[in-house]
Structure 1
Amino acid sequence: MTTLGIVYDKFLSPSFAGGGAVHAYEVTIRFKNHFKIIYYPTSPVLVWDKEVVKRKAKELESQGIRIAGEFYEILEEREKISRIKRFLFADKIAREFSKGYKVDADILYQPDHTSLDIFYLARDTKYGITFHVPPFYNDSLRYLRRLIKFYGVNPYTGKGFHTRFLYNEYVKFLYKRLLKKEVKNEPTFLAGVSEAPLIESGLKGEVIKPGNAFDPFLMNYRNKGKEDYVVFWSRLNQDKGFHELPDILHMMEKRSGNKIRLVVMGKFFDRYNERRFWSKVRKYDLKVEYKGFVKREELAEIVSRAKVLIYPSHVDGFSLVVLESLALGTPVVAYDIPAIKSIYGGLESVSIVNEFDKESMVENALRFYKMNEREIEEIMNGEKLMEFLKLHSSWDNVADAVLKIIKKYL
């Protein structure tokens, strides 16, 4: 049987590591039926507590995923590092960390690209990478212009669009070097969970279709009635446009002449942006209900009864938030970033407006908000959407799509 080496770090994360980690786990577990799996944890694990990492590693092995034996030796030899050090010296740390492994695989695969280790691990081995977000933005000037509009500057830390831009240029330099002749072996294939990571980075590769899936239990919450509120949930940071929500809600109220309740779920990225958000809420005298980080069942119940999800995100590679909202029977208004256009374009249940065009977002959000339950259900149960949801309701479909790409290059 062919040996597949999984190169990744987030399986050992001490906390929930996001949609990319869910994708990586669900696909890897299904690969056990097709390959002999060896897992090679990567250098970002050095940020976490060693004992926690060891415990998570043992839990993973109990599920039938064999971890490369050298990993425990490497972990003992290496000291825990700070996030800042990992941020500043990611390339050097990845190079040194990878030297501890003796790779014994026919092909290496990184299901969610979060570190540079694979470039050094694949010294004499075929390897492929899947991107869930762009590794970098290739059009520097366009990226800078967009950053200035949605990222801003945190006066307490000094970080902002300028530091984000400089980091992008540094990462772009690294990748351009690594993808050419700096490493012995160039990638066998690159892939994206949508077209977006490849379009934004200017890289060529395969597109996984379907790139992600939702838990079918969400479908049980559909068609159970709607209430008069709008919803937003995601990471509460600038990338997801959450600081634009008060402006959008205020404009909706002015245009409709009525108070509109917004329910927000998720964790604030930092205190500055949290204060900034609530300052706008008070300024406009808005009706905002903040739920924080809620359990899946409660989230499903809240989203399913909302009239519309307002999602002014500027950074996404696929958006599980949008997918899950559709599964729950709630329409969406979103900006026309590549991930949204490539995955959800053409669906009546997703209104896509020009990025930063708040007026159009307000107009389309109100269109859904003013619909009665029967009208919303008619849209949310249309044949095209139901076929779309059927395709994206099984991780087996995602794993099969990735498997097809890997076998193409074996």
Structure 2
Amino acid sequence: MKLGVITFSLTNISEGGAERHIREFIKRARSEFEIYLFPTLNTYLQIHNDEDRSRLINKVKELEKEGIMLTSQFQYLVDRTITSREYLWNFLDFRLLKEISKLYSAELMMMDYLFAPNFVSPDVAVMAKLTGKKYGILINGYIAPLHMGTLSYSRYKSRIGQEGFVRSLPKNILISNYWEKAIKIMRANPPDFVAGVNKVAIEGVVGSLPTNHIILDPGFAIEQTVTKYRREKKDDYALFVSARLEPSKGIFDLVKIMRRLRDNRINLKIMGRFKSDFNKFNNLAKKYGVLDKIEYLGFLEGEEKYKIISSAKVMVYPSHDDTNALVILESLAVNTPVIAYAIPGIRYAYDGVPGVTLVREFDYEAMANELRRAMSAKGLVGNSKLEKFILHHSSWERVTEQEINLILRHCCGH
């Protein structure tokens, strides 16, 4: 059976938690399907220079070595320059989405089914409409424009330090219009199913689509081997980890929290990749007099990453944009407690889980107080409820099996 995978995640040159999920799905889905990759528009929009283009091409070569077949139109689209004018007009008339769909159409027609395993853009709906193919989607993250009105979204972006309200408003009007058009297409030609990694992921507008709505359980996982890095003895520092260090993950909140702890001997280590806010982050930390209390470690993976997480007294995670936040689960798995904002996704996934303290979003004072308390508290050892939670979320096999079965059921009646 030929499965057309419509996603940005496999070709994203700066990966995060959702990308890990898709990799785990592909690893197991290859035993059931012939996988054909049709990169979404976002893939080509991430190319800003020759270095980006080269990194993307190398990533695709790695996928092809794994037996994932790529659309023949990939090289043409990689070399095609997308102008600012085309990008803006696409918000109004989907011209780029339609162009890519037409270029892919001959190969899409050869597929038995289409699947968007990390639905963050409406490409799959446009492709399904053009080809008449059946499709399903998985929502891996919180799609803010589908949950917030234009004004609320603009205020949100301003408050987290991403973009000023006045500057972001025109853009967000375009984004809202874009999604309205997309949902209209999906109502007229609904997917067979909308699966969500938790309840919050499929609430709002997507939850009103006339289709089957499925909540995966478990909807996320870590490998059981992570627990081998556990340490009972902790070092005297707090930690923040995110694959992408950007405003939506709370990087500027960190500085405001640390500002309230200037008189305490609390040091913070940060791990991840900055996109474009490194200088702004440093300048704000310098302004508030906490730059000397913050150490940037860069992006680390594997054993090196887990050793640092397991050695920390506490993980502080003031993210505004998460559904399951794998880093919280990883932290708990190595006996490091977590303080996070009680945003919908994190509250759904972790409320009541031992070792997780949730505070009101943007309450820097409460975050600082909890951080102060955690630095002098005992770690997480021998909690049966926590162990049961970690065990339930320690199998990517159980997560991805649900997705594979959904596709088989709707495509082949299995």
TM-score, normalised by the number of residues in structure 2: 0.84
Q: Aligned pair in 2 of structure 1 residues 284, 185: CA closer, same or farther (>3 Å)?
A: closer
Match for residue 233 of structure 1 among 213, 236, 241: 241
* Residue type of the alignment partner of 1:401: Q
Q: Which amino acid aligns with 1:333?
A: I
Query: What CA distance in whole angstroms lies between the structure 2 residues aligned with 1:332 and 1:344?
Result: 10
How many residues are aligned here?
Answer: 391
Shifted more, 225-234 versus 396-405: the winner is 396-405
In structure 2, relative to structure 1, the CA distance for the partners of 1:252 and 1:262 (3 Å cut) is: same
Hey, what's the Cα distance between the residues in 1 that align with 2:308 and 2:89?
Answer: 40
Which residues of 2 match residues 3-152 of structure 1 at below 5 A? 3-13=2-12, 15-47=13-45, 48=47, 53-68=56-71, 70-72=72-74, 74-75=76-77, 79-81=80-82, 86=87, 89=90, 91-101=94-104, 102=106, 103=108, 104-123=110-129, 124-135=132-143, 136-140=145-149, 141-151=151-161
Tell me, yes or no, if structure 1 residue 341 matches structure 2 residue 350: no
| Alignment map for 1:139-218 (pairs within 5 Å) | 139-140=148-149, 141-151=151-161, 153=163, 160-181=164-185, 185-199=189-203, 203-204=207-208, 205-218=213-226
Q: Return the TM-score normalized by structure 1.
A: 0.85
CA contact (8 A) 1:199 1:338 kept: no
1:156 is aligned to: none
CA contact (8 A) 1:261 1:287 kept: yes
| Structure 1 contact 134–200 (Cα < 8 Å) conserved | no
Structure 1: segments with no counterpart, 5+ residues:
154-159
Q: Secondary structure at the match of 1:266?
A: strand
User: How many angstroms apart in 2 are the aligned matches of 1:172 and 1:214?
Assistant: 34
> Unpaired segments of 5 or more residues in structure 2?
none
Aligned pairs for 1:289-368 within 5 A? 289-368=295-374
What's 1:157 paired with?
none
Question: Matched residues in 2 for 1:264 and 1:45: separation?
Answer: 28
Deviating more after overlay: 313-322 vs 57-66: 57-66
CA contact (8 A) 1:226 1:306 kept: yes
The runs of 4+ residues in structure 1 deviating greater than 6 Å are none
Amino acid at match of 1:393: S
Taking only the aligned residue pairs, the percentage that are identical comes to: 31
CA offset at residue 361 of structure 1? 1.7
- Matches of 1:88 and 1:35 in 2, distance apart? 36
Task: Please report how far the alpha carbon of residue 247 of structure 1 lies from its aligned counterpart in structure 2 after TM superposition.
Answer: 2.8
Structure 1 residue 211, shift from structure 2 partner:
2.1
**Once the 2 structures are TM-superposed, how far is the Cα of residue 19 of structure 1 from its aligned partner?**
1.9
CA 1:54–1:187 in 2, change beyond 3 Å: closer, same or farther?
same
Aligned Cα root-mean-square deviation (Å) = 2.8
The CA distance in 1 between the partners of 2:117 and 2:346, in whole Å, is 21
Is this contact kept in 2: 1:195–1:338, CA < 8 A? no
**Cα-to-partner distance string for 1:291-345 (whole Å, 9 max, x where unaligned):** 1223432221111111111111111122122122112221111111111011111
Shift of 1:8: 1.5
Task: State the SS of the aligned residue for 1:377.
Answer: coil
When residues 166 and 401 of structure 1 are mapped into structure 2, their CA distance, relative to the original with a 3 A threshold, is: farther
What is the match of residue 395 of structure 2? 394
